Amino acid sequence: MNDRELDQLIARANPFGDDTVRQLPTADAESDLLEDILTTTEPATRLRPTRRRRIAIGAAAAVGVAAAVGVVGAVLPKDSPVAPYVAPFVAPQPAYAAELVAVAEANDRILIDDPAWKITQVDEFTKDTGDMTFSKGDQTFQLKWFPAKEFKDYYNDRVTGSVEHSEVQVLGQKGTLFRYAKENFDSAFMLPPRGPSFVETRADLGSLEAYRDVLGKLKKVDVNTWLAAMPEEVVKPEKVRAAVDSMLAGVAVPKGFNKKPLYKETVIARYHLGARVTTAASCAWLDQWTAATKSGDKAKAAEAVQAMQGSKKWKILQEMKAEGDMPEMIWQYADEIAGKVKPESKSGHPAEGYKDGLGCR
């Protein structure tokens, strides 16, 4: 292979473009790379570089190898037994949405430092609320975030509802351990507020010792580690838009329906994202039906009835029905406004209370 062929090969391996590469701070990376080449005579296991060096080395390895090889050619004789070392490409860290980073940084990102415990359920996270469940076999360990301003009320409620409580240190903080009943080991632990939220854990693991053992394994992690630990069914921020669009496929929405609020980038379980999408569409149709019924617009009311009857074929609701009751709630309202079932409200009015029932905004 001649120099021109080598240059062409390297150019094809460059996914970033020459202009972008010229602006990268690769001088240190090239120096490190050259040092490795000159001091390595046999294949060896390389230590993982620091994050700062990893970014630079990744760029240099992918698109700046020609410069390093050029230096090596000038230093080493042609018959040198030392083969030029080409560092493997290291993918950059994922770039998460600024809104998610703000949410993640506002909370203590906590995992259980034990591979036997896996995250199995995650509700939507905001800057001061969240709900995560870990599982190991048939045991579960729940971890929740609440607004800091509500700490006193929650604490007093736990004191009143428990049979005993004591001070325990976890994650470098003093918190309170509660035991709820003498006949079982249903226990909870609360940490006082740090920032906009406070943390509570709860589980019944068969003994206080087992519960405290898990408390001792709690650890705080960075954003990327926390997100990487999420189960596959959790929709991560960068995939929310695509997931929403996919869920809306085949879902009838009224004219003027605004789907932008559905694109809110956050960490959310697929079921809860599906609920966000389907309730938004259902609420819009029920709003139309309610307004049309009051004004006497039979065409608009009939359109809403037809659309809600169609919800029984929405793929996302069919997917969700095995996991929760949201689909059944939507279909109940659909049948009420169609006159197919007796309304569940005391007044007997169809779809009464749907705003609270579906969480319409």
> What percentage of the chain carries pLDDT values higher than 70?
71
The token pair at 192 is 């006082």
pLDDT category, 102, cuts 50, 70, 90?
low
Report which of 194, 166, 191 is spatially closest to residue 178, judged by C-alpha positions: 166
For 11-24, what is the mean pLDDT? 45
Q: Answer whether residue 7 shows pLDDT above 70.
A: no
User: Average of pLDDT values for 222-246?
Assistant: 82
Give pLDDT, residue 114: 95
- pLDDT score, position 8: 47
- Mean pLDDT for 263-282 is 88
CB 131 within 8 Å of CB 245: no
d(CA 172, CA 192): 12
Residue carrying structure tokens 């019924």:
293
Mean pLDDT of the chain: 76
pLDDT digits (tens, 9 = 90+) for 164-180: 999 999 999 999 999 98
pLDDT, one tens digit per residue, over 120-144 is 888 767 778 888 899 999 999 999 9
Per residue in 30-68, pLDDT (tens digit) is: 444 334 433 343 333 323 333 323 323 233 333 333 333
Tokens at 201, concatenated: 């854990």
* DSSP SS3 for 292: helix
**pLDDT beyond 50 at 152:** yes
Q: Judge whether residue 202 has pLDDT over 80.
A: yes
Residues 139 and 207: their CA atoms lie apart, in Å, by 12
Contact 126, 266 (CB under 8 A): yes
